[in-house]
Chain A
Amino acid sequence: MLFTVLLYTSLFVFLLGLIYKVSTWFSRKIGIASKNFTTSERISAAAKGILGVIFSPKILILAKVFILDVVLQRKILKEDFLRWIMHMLIFTGFMMLLLMHAFDSFITTSLFEEYYSTVNPFLFLRDFFGIMALAGLMIAVYRRFILKVPRLKTSPMDYYVIIILAVIMISGILLEGIKITSYTEFQNMVENYSGLDDEGEILALEKLWVKDFGLVSPNVKGPIDPAIIPLSKELHNMHCAECHSSAEWAIMGYPAAKLLKPIALKLDRLGGVNAFWYIHFLACFIGLAYLPFSKMFHFIASPVSLLANAVMDKDKSLSANIATRQAMELDACTHCGTCSLTCSVAVAFDKTGNLNILPSEKLVFLKTYASGKDLKENEIKAIQEGIYLCTNCDRCTVVCPVGINLRELWFNVREDLIQKGNPIPLVLSPFSFYRGLNQQKLDSKNYSNPASLTKDAITDKCELMKNPDEVISLTPINKEFKEKADLSCQATTYSYCFSCQNCSTVCPVVSNYENPQEALGLLPHQIMRSVGLGLKDLAFGSKMLWDCVTCYQCQEHCPQGVKVTDILYELKNLAIKESFNNE
């Protein structure tokens, strides 16, 4: 009764979870791409898209991707053999156990008339699949906790899955082991199936089972008289053999039984079989109910992602479907860390410790962000840095084993995250090139906001720039500032400047403007002098710093050997540090 209630409850939760999760694919809005679509528009676009693919030659692509990428996991194999083995072991082991063992009354019995879980090949196969899954889990633990694969982060989600799967497997093995040793089980079987009632005969059978089948009986102690064995065997063949292969074929359960032997009788009296039966089933039910909410859900979402990405194209597919696909892709991520391993800028994480720089961790963030969580100020800053510190090299997209189109996801989410009205220092760097290259896809109204906002935030702190009429006081000299401007060991060359203006004359940025001072603030030679005079506000506050194209014409043409461009670089570093307290 309890079993049935629990089974149906967990099944109900599982199905409800499944429906809920899939519905979020159509309702969650991610980034700028999904703003204009309602859920119903997205559902009908998806139906249209799916039907369009099914009734077109693209179905062949789907078939190919299904076999190579979904079933055979080609992408994982390309990256890492150990991981491929791990995944194959867990996947095959569990799927086969699910089909053959958990659903035996539906599937196995209807396929094989002679099915008994206790005869070969089923007895052996169950344990064999168990070994596969367990070995896979052990590799998972080994990779995460012993080998410590670089940049492979373990989140609570990863722990939960490993723990649940491990409990299911280990409790299953122990349950089998205890059942093998259990005297109560033996008595029940004899009573219900053998039809034996002669106590002598039962004892003879019992002795054989103790000797060969791992049974632990209170009645059989010490060495067994070989004379009785022929009778035992005859009884066994008549009453048991049809449904019982040799227990040794339970390659996990039988060793477990041997291990439990010293405490087997006690366990049996305490109802060990029942206890482990409950643990095993409860773990399975919890796993089932929790599945749609855990990373195990990837067993549905990842194939969908692989298939969808194989036939979708950002220029041809409906935008509503791309919005839906991106919501789905968040569920497809298995947090495997392949993207972070190959990421071009991941070294920056090693240096700054901002987890959001790693693509795999950005996805973790996006999962919570997409569910509508409010962000604290420091969280916003960290994710803005993480999402912008990206060269858009596409390596993450190329290697993702579940085919997530990370390139498009980043582009879409980045725009949403940087338009939050706060300054972002990295926007004033060549990381902005990609955004500039793709500006036609962005809302032209807000396009330049992040850059101008950040420039203003820096200038705002420079009082002297805001009040051009103020009399500049040259004493005392800001020594602290002058000393700081020495990062690159050549920055102190500013002191050689004699204001010949060569740098400003050759500067292509200066010559771009009719009234350069109005457009740029201070010109390069003036900035050099400002540093020399310790006037921090003037050195930091000019637009010239951020408009410098770093072409090194100024530095090349300085008759005094002032490292003009390098000093401008250095001032940018310092201005960012001081304005945004990134120390």
Chain B
Amino acid sequence: MNKMIKYALFLGCNIPARVQQYETSARSVFAELGVDIKDIKEFNCCGYPLRNSDFKTFVLFSARNLALAEKLGLNMITLCKCCYGSLKMAEHHMRENSFLKDEVNETLAKEGLEYNGNLEIKHFLSALYSDIGINTLKEKITRNFKNLKIAAHYGCHALRPSNIMQFDNPVSPVIFDRLVELTGAKSIDWSLKLECCGAPVLGINDDLSMNLTEKKLTNGKRSGADYLCTACPWCHLQFDSVQKMMIDQQRLNNHLPAILFPQLLGLAMGIDKQTLGITMNQIINFTALSVVDV
């Protein structure tokens, strides 16, 4: 890496409150890679939960965050795929619809902000893959997983609609698999790889939500995975906490633990388990995570 890469880190709402291990592990990975991270205290919710009820307020939420990062001349990096999807979606709508953009900017002007669209929005995975690059990552990897099979869960809102998200090929994406395989783990093929985790309807239709989760977990398990790998707090909570709840309710017999990608990558970089918050996950299979020095 020649020049210092710098991002405004957008954590969203779930991570600081419920998936702190995602933040600590991602930050430790950033530190290891020498990525410069700027925290913006004034960030608000991305607006995702408002999309069902109030489109314009959703766009305003996203636009305010984008304007805050833009003011500092920074690109934005998100750890959450729904934040990523919302920010990209809002960016798209404001680019397509100048009336909408003007209306949003009128509200933003009250606190001295303006959104002009002069910044890039990145998801953690795409930043690692494209900005930092596989080669740089390889240099930092000191350990390999001995015999770990990973079911990479892509997450809907980063992948689709692909014309707006520009994350990866929507039908046969590769980014996540390549990143996983850097650690020596095998990224398995599984038929439900690109399907929904179930989180968006948890609390609205729990039966449906848990059915979708169960299908994915069973499919991953049957395809030989030891772990399901996530890069989104919603998906992670669904595969971790909700899976735990399903086990408690005896809805699920066979469990498949979930690990966040920076935790997986961090272990391969030799970052300690404590920093990566491995034990903060609800379901853990330590044996599957054993590593050998490269």
Q: How far is the CA of A378 from the CA of B19 in the complex (A)?
A: 36
Contact flag A392-B17 (CB < 8 Å), given A429-B49, A552-B161, A570-B55: yes
Q: How far is the CA of A433 from the CA of B48 in the complex (A)?
A: 12
Interface residues of A in 539-561 (CB under 8 A from B): 546-553, 555-556
Contact of A488 with B by CB under 8 A: yes
Interface residues of B in 232-252 (CB under 8 A from A): 234, 237, 241-242, 245, 248
Query: Is the beta-carbon distance between A448 and B206 smaller than 8 angstroms?
Result: yes
Contact of A435 with B by CB under 8 A: yes
Contact flag A440-B248 (CB < 8 Å), given A430-B52, A508-B212: yes
Query: Is the beta-carbon distance between B97 and A489 smaller than 8 angstroms?
Result: yes
Contact of B294 with A by CB under 8 A: no
Closest-by-CB residue of A relative to B57 is A351
Q: How far is the CA of A549 from the CA of B53 in the complex (A)?
A: 14
Q: How far, in Å, is A547 (CB) from chain B's closest CB?
A: 5
Q: Which residues of A contact B100 (CB under 8 A)?
A: 489
Q: Which residues of A contact B156 (CB under 8 A)?
A: 549-553
Contact of A569 with B by CB under 8 A: yes
Q: Say which residue of B45, B55, B110, B208 sits within 8 Å of A391 (CB atoms).
A: B45
Q: Which residues of B contact A431 (CB under 8 A)?
A: 49, 203
Q: Which residues of B contact A425 (CB under 8 A)?
A: 53
Q: How far, in Å, is B283 (CB) from chain A's closest CB?
A: 15
Q: How far, in Å, is A539 (CB) from chain B's closest CB?
A: 15
Comparing B27-35, B140-148, B191-199, the segment that makes contact with chain A is B191-199
Which bucket holds chain A's interface residue count?
35 or more
Q: How far, in Å, is B264 (CB) from chain A's closest CB?
A: 23
Q: How far is the CA of A198 from the CA of B170 in the complex (A)?
A: 108
Query: Is the beta-carbon distance between A432 and B161 smaller than 8 angstroms?
Result: no
Q: How far is the CA of A405 from the CA of B234 in the complex (A)?
A: 24
Q: Say which residue of A407, A428, A430, A553 sits within 8 Å of B160 (CB atoms).
A: A553
Query: Is the beta-carbon distance between A433 and B199 smaller than 8 angstroms?
Result: yes
Q: Which residues of B contact A347 (CB under 8 A)?
A: 44-45, 57, 60-61, 64
Q: How far is the CA of A391 from the CA of B49 in the complex (A)?
A: 8
In this complex, the member of B16, B17, B203 whose beta carbon has the largest number of chain A beta carbons within 10 angstroms is: B203
Q: How far, in Å, is B95 (CB) from chain A's closest CB?
A: 11
Q: Which residues of A contact B273 (CB under 8 A)?
A: none
Contact of A437 with B by CB under 8 A: yes
Q: How far is the CA of A571 from the CA of B248 in the complex (A)?
A: 37
B interface, over-half SS: helix
Query: Is the beta-carbon distance between B170 and A556 smaller than 8 angstroms?
Result: yes
Q: Which residues of B contact A553 (CB under 8 A)?
A: 156, 160, 195-196
Contact of B37 with A by CB under 8 A: no
Q: How far, in Å, is A382 (CB) from chain B's closest CB?
A: 15
Q: How far is the CA of A68 from the CA of B1 in the complex (A)?
A: 44
Contact of B279 with A by CB under 8 A: no
Q: Which residues of A contact B93 (CB under 8 A)?
A: 488-489
Contact of A169 with B by CB under 8 A: no
Q: Say which residue of A346, A395, A549, A556 sits within 8 Å of B200 (CB atoms).
A: A549
Contact of B204 with A by CB under 8 A: yes
Contact of B205 with A by CB under 8 A: yes
Query: Is the beta-carbon distance between B162 and A556 smaller than 8 angstroms?
Result: yes
Interface residues of A in 205-241 (CB under 8 A from B): none
Closest-by-CB residue of B relative to A520 is B208
Query: Is the beta-carbon distance between A569 and B203 smaller than 8 angstroms?
Result: no
Chain A interfacial positions (CB closer than 8 Å to B): 150, 342-348, 350-352, 389, 391-395, 407, 425-437, 439-440, 448, 451, 487-490, 508-509, 512, 546-553, 555-556, 563, 565-566, 569-570, 572-573, 576
A-B contact pairs, 9 of them (CB 8 A): A344-B45, A347-B45, A347-B57, A395-B16, A426-B53, A427-B203, A436-B202, A439-B203, A552-B157
Given contacts A512-B208, A547-B201, A553-B160, 9 further A-B contacts (CB under 8 A): A391-B14, A393-B45, A426-B53, A436-B202, A547-B204, A549-B198, A550-B157, A572-B53, A576-B53
Chain B interfacial positions (CB closer than 8 Å to A): 12-14, 16-18, 41, 44-45, 48-57, 60-61, 64, 82, 93, 96-97, 100, 107, 110-111, 156-157, 159-162, 170, 195-196, 198-206, 208-209, 211-212, 234, 237, 241-242, 245, 248
